[in-house]
Amino acid sequence: MSASQALFRPTLRLFAEHLAPGWIAAASAAMRPFREEAPASDVQWVPRVEMQHGGGTLLWRESAAPVDVNGGSGNLFLDGKRIAGQSAPSPADDLTVYLGGKIVKREPALVLFHGADASLGAFAAEILPRLVAMDHLGVPAETLLLVTLNMGRQRFFQRAMVDGIFRPRPVELLRRATAMRTALLNEVSCPESNTDIGREAADRLKALYGPYPSQGPAVLVAENGEAANRQLGWIKASMGGTGEIVVADTTRMPLGRIIRAIAAAPVLYGSRSLLRAGLLAPNPLRRAIETGIGDSHA
């Protein structure tokens, strides 16, 4: 690297770190066609454990070569090339890697979450079952769990960390303008349809937040107060008199209160994604009604 590049790159990185997300997404999209991608098949995975549990397959595998994890988006990179076919948060922040951002080494690591839907529903249907699956598969407790910032900054996720849901496993939030490099990237897959794993995750929550009330009012799970107001208006216009409805605003209500309210609710309202929050406290008798407006995940 020349002296001018050595001076120029840190300036670019500092600039990228303070760009608005929309500008980052635009810059990433503009640069992506000029950056070579690596096919997903280039990542060599070594199977560690595969097992049948609850009518589904649990799988734990490790990378055979060093992999970079982009802090902004959670996208995986191999030798500086973005691995094709990944689902990442929107807007994607691949600008960090494109500009040669700061690389931090972490060993061993596992990307626990890097999806675009950072809702309570994704927490219930993706993160918690994956956490339970790790125990069944024997993934070492010292494996660092990486979570993209779009999920990590959610109040319910912060509360889950404080309440010890992930203990004894360490969790680190991926951040913009940083990339993680690990020579041993772990991956765990657990199908959402695995009801046994989901039930075990719910039992762990009940042990932490229970006992639950036996009955309560209907619950609307919403991503914020503004979305809740729009959804309540839709429910009233579409369904008429529905009785009392408690709003579980995921930006304001503590996680334990949300779970206890859901556990006692005879009816659960929410967008398609947020209705998955019912997995936090399953009840086969509870009705789930998808609202037609409100959340960005509707």
CATH number of the structural domain spanning residue 269: 3.40.50
Locus of tokens 């619950």? 219
Same domain, 87 and 170: yes
Separation in Å, CA 202 to CA 17, 79, 128, 260, 267: 38, 40, 9, 12, 18
Domain limit, last residue, from 140, 174, 207: 207
Give the global pTM. Answer: 0.84
275-290 burial: b if 16+ Cβ within 10 Å, else e: bbbbbbbbbeebeeee
Same domain, 95 and 113: yes
Residue 170 resides in a domain: yes
CB distance 82 to 97 below 8 Å: yes
Residue 9 resides in a domain: no
Same domain, 102 and 175: yes
| Parent domain of 252 | 213-290
Same domain, 99 and 199: yes
pLDDT of residue 155: 96
Q: 3, exposed or middle or buried, with CB in 10 Å at 0-12, 13-18, 19+?
A: exposed
**What is the number of other CB atoms lying within 10 angstroms of the CB of residue 1?**
8
Q: Which two tokens stand for residue 196?
A: 């046994």
Same domain, 132 and 201: yes
Residue 156 resides in a domain: yes
Residue 2 resides in a domain: no
pLDDT of residue 4: 46
Count of structural domains within the chain: 2
Same domain, 116 and 134: yes
Q: Give the DSSP H or E segment for 109.
A: strand 109-113
Same domain, 198 and 52: yes
pLDDT of residue 91: 40
Same domain, 171 and 253: no
Same domain, 50 and 19: yes
Residue 5 resides in a domain: no
Same domain, 151 and 241: no
Domain limit, last residue, from 207, 235, 264: 207
Domain limit, last residue, from 174, 207, 240: 207
Residue 297 resides in a domain: no
pLDDT of residue 24: 60
Residue 296 resides in a domain: no
Residue 198 resides in a domain: yes
Residue pLDDT tens, the chain, 298 long:
445 445 445 555 555 555 555 666 666 666 665 567 888 888 899 999 999 997 789 999 999 989 888 876 778 888 878 887 776 554 456 666 666 666 788 888 998 988 778 999 999 999 999 999 999 999 999 999 999 888 999 999 999 999 999 999 999 988 776 778 888 899 999 988 888 999 999 999 999 999 999 999 999 999 999 999 999 998 988 887 678 999 999 999 999 999 999 999 999 999 999 999 999 999 999 999 999 765 555 4
Same domain, 229 and 202: no
Same domain, 280 and 181: no
CB distance 197 to 53 below 8 Å: yes
